[in-house]
């Protein structure tokens, strides 16, 4: 499995209503990051503050100039849905994640263990 190359596919694929935030995350944004909470409406995230409609793209996703790389303006305060992605090898295949290698496809159980090890700091502990 390759390291993330910041292709942005995960952000693009899920930012139009495919993500959620915990009540505690939304409450944190309301107090400490009001610029983020402006994009929350009735518990749904990435809603237009002017129209109330679901945005087609995360407002915090930025393409690096002259590159096919993306950054996140709220990386440290992004929702857990973002922090925990990717969860499974199947999800990565479906999303055409560029971290996947041919060897991962031929040994999905091993690849899942590798992914779990890579993501250990991004996900809650398994009890």
What is the Cα–Cα distance from 34 to 105, expressed in whole angstroms? Answer: 42
Of residues 58, 9, 64, 62, the one with CA closest to residue 36: 58
Position 65 pLDDT exceeds 90:
yes
Looking at the DSSP bridge assignments, the partners of residue 45 are 40
Are 15 and 5 a contacting pair, CB within 8 Å?
no
Alpha helix stretches (DSSP H) within 1-127: 9-14, 23-32, 34-37, 80-84, 89-94, 102-106, 108-118
**Tens-place pLDDT, residues 2-34:** 888 898 888 888 888 888 999 999 999 999 999
The answer to pTM > 0.85 is no
Residues in Cβ contact with 20 at an 8 Å cutoff, skipping those fewer than 6 apart: 43, 44, 45, 79, 81
Average pLDDT over residues 31-60: 96
């Amino acid at each position: 499995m390759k390291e993330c190359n910041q292709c942005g596919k995960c952000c693009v694929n899920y930012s139009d209503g495919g993500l959620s935030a915990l009540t505690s995350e939304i409450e944190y944004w309301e107090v400490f990051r009001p610029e983020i909470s402006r994009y929350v409406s009735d518990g749904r995230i990435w809603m237009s503050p002017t129209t109330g409609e679901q945005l087609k793209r995360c407002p915090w996703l930025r393409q690096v100039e002259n590159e096919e790389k993306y950054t996140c303006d709220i990386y440290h305060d992004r929702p857990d849905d973002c922090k925990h992605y990717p969860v499974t090898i199947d999800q990565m295949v479906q999303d055409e994640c560029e971290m996947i290698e041919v060897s991962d496809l031929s040994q999905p159980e091993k690849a899942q263990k590798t992914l779990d090890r890579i993501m250990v700091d991004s996900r809650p502990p398994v009890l």
